[in-house]
């Protein structure tokens, strides 16, 4: 089972990389309005680096927790900007949690989303409403935990996760940034979707495609 699960996660990171790469110009454009206009490029480089490292693994021997551990180190090495430590911590938290459950069951998938949220929050010290990626990750994690508690199936859980993340990301356009580079703009950050929240939705959609679309869950 762990081999199937490891391959599933490796596929997930490939899907994330492809999706981010396809949207990198839009993400950098969003970032140009409130930041340094490099978010798309940064995220693309980070996930390409993750996949380059994962390609060196023997997936027939790897555990799911190892996939996230490798991803954490690779992303951090490739992305020195603020996003690097945030996602590295997210992946590291997911890796640690997976050591207690390597199955990729529905409960395990919900745990991955919540641990990634926790890692980003732990490292960034932010909260919902700050106009950051947490405005997508926090509601996504809440939806995951709620779906697990209510014994939803995998497809219903990921539908709820993605809808919550999209609503959260879209809500950032009506927020004044409280954290990150955009906070320097004050009221001028109004009217723009946060690029980190937008890329979080892309990541979560690729995760949904992997766990639901491929029927990869056990």
Q: What is the predicted pLDDT for the residue at 216?
A: 43
Give dist(CA 39, CA 29) in Å, integer.
9
Give dist(CA 203, CA 200) in Å, integer.
5
Give dist(CA 21, CA 35) in Å, integer.
19
Q: What is the predicted pLDDT for the residue at 131?
A: 85
Question: For residue 77, is it left (φ>0), alpha (ψ between -120 and 50) or beta?
Answer: alpha
* Contact status, residue 155 vs residue 214, Cβ threshold 8 Å: no
Per run of 10 residues, the mean pLDDT along the chain (length 218 residues) is 84 98 94 82 97 96 96 95 93 97 94 98 88 95 96 94 97 72 55 89 98 61
- The owner of tokens 């081999």 is 3
């Amino acid at each position: 089972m762990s081999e199937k699960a490891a391959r599933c996660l490796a596929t997930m990171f490939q899907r994330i990389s492809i999706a981010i790469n396809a949207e990198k110009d839009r993400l950098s454009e969003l970032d140009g309005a409130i930041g340094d206009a490099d978010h798309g490029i940064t995220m693309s480089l980070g996930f390409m680096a993750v996949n380059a490292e994962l390609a060196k693994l023997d997936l027939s021997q790897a555990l799911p927790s190892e996939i996230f551990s490798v991803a954490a180190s690779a992303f951090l090495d490739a992305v020195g900007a603020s996003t690097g430590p945030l996602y590295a911590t997210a992946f590291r938290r997911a890796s640690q949690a997976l050591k207690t459950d390597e199955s990729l069951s529905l409960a395990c998938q919900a745990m991955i989303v919540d641990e990634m949220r926790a890692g980003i929050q732990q490292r960034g010290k932010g909260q919902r409403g700050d106009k950051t990626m947490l405005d997508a990750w926090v509601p996504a994690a809440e939806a995951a935990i709620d779906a697990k508690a209510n014994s939803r199936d995998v497809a219903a859980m990921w539908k709820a996760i993605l809808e919550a993340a999209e609503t959260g990301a879209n809500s950032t356009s009506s927020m004044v940034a409280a954290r990150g580079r955009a906070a320097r703009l004050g009221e001028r950050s109004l009217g723009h979707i946060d690029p980190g929240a937008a890329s979080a939705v892309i990541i979560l959609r690729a995760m949904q495609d992997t766990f639901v679309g491929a029927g990869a869950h056990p």
